[in-house]
Amino acid sequence: MISATQIRKGMIIRLDDKLFRVEDMKHITPGKGNAIVQTKIRDLNDMSIRDFRFRSAEKIDRVVLDQKELSYSYQDGDQYYFMDSETYEQIGLSSEFLGDVIVYLVEGESYSMESFEDKPMNIAPPMTMEFEVIECEQSMKGATVQSSYKPAKLSNEMEVMVPPFVDTGMVIKVDTRDGSYIERVSK
């Protein structure tokens, strides 16, 4: 059991004998009254999302999950297939289950899958990944670095704000937690 203030995005919690994944959370401390934790949670049975509030002193049942490394193999329609590197078993996950992780799928890359009683609960890409810039605006001469980030389209169809020195054809490192630019990769 954990305190409601220890809830974090991506955790799996149990409420009324159902499992939920925390999609978003905010710790709200009003000037008057008790603090609350406002969450968006996804029911892992029917994949519906709902808002839920916890009192900050409330105790929550956190579910401990089994973890294993999987390698992304291929896509077939709405299903994305991963291979367990120990057993060579193929695991198919739907695009609805994967959500935002789909933009980070790269063939052969390793991903961390969490499961509960052999049922997949969550999948996470590596903390950082490298992608090629396929399209970006030309930087303006005399623009300062602090205020002149520009949009760039990456090889995974994602759009990221990058510094002015980044050009088409360069490879950059992206933080997969929030989709932000980290650094240019020299190859």
Under 8 Å between Cβ of 110 and 157: no
Q: Which of 124, 139, 166 is the C-terminal boundary of a domain? A: 124
What does the mean pLDDT of the chain come to?
87
Picking from 122, 3, 20, 129, the residue whose alpha carbon sits closest to that of residue 70 is 122
pLDDT (tens digit per residue) in 90-118: 999 998 888 888 999 999 999 999 888 88
pLDDT at 22 over 80: yes
User: What element of type H or E holds 136?
Assistant: strand 128-136
* Rounded Cα distance, 72 and 80, in Å: 8
The residue whose two tokens read 């198919």 is 92
Under 8 Å between Cβ of 28 and 9: no
How far is C-alpha 96 from the geometric centre of its chain's CA atoms? 13
Q: Do residues 54 and 79 share a domain?
A: no
Q: Do residues 8 and 54 share a domain?
A: yes
Tally of domains within the chain: 3
Q: Which of 74, 91, 124 is the C-terminal boundary of a domain? A: 124
Q: Do residues 136 and 109 share a domain?
A: no
Q: What is the pLDDT of residue 159?
A: 92
Q: What is the CATH number of the domain that holds 170?
A: 2.40.50.140
Q: Do residues 149 and 166 share a domain?
A: yes
Q: Which of 124, 147, 167 is the C-terminal boundary of a domain? A: 124
* Rounded Cα distance, 9 and 2, in Å: 14
Q: What is the pLDDT of residue 76?
A: 92
Domain boundaries, position 150: 128-185
Q: What is the CATH number of the domain that holds 9?
A: 2.30.30.30
pLDDT (tens digit per residue) in 130-187: 999 999 887 666 555 556 788 999 998 899 999 888 889 999 999 988 888 999 887 6
* Rounded Cα distance, 21 and 62, in Å: 10
Q: What is the pLDDT of residue 187?
A: 66
Q: What is the pLDDT of residue 110?
A: 93
Percentage of residues of the chain with pLDDT beyond 90:
34
pTM: 0.68
| Strands across the sheet containing 128-136 | 159-162, 150-154, 128-136, 171-175, 180-185
Q: What is the pLDDT of residue 147?
A: 62
Under 8 Å between Cβ of 132 and 156: no
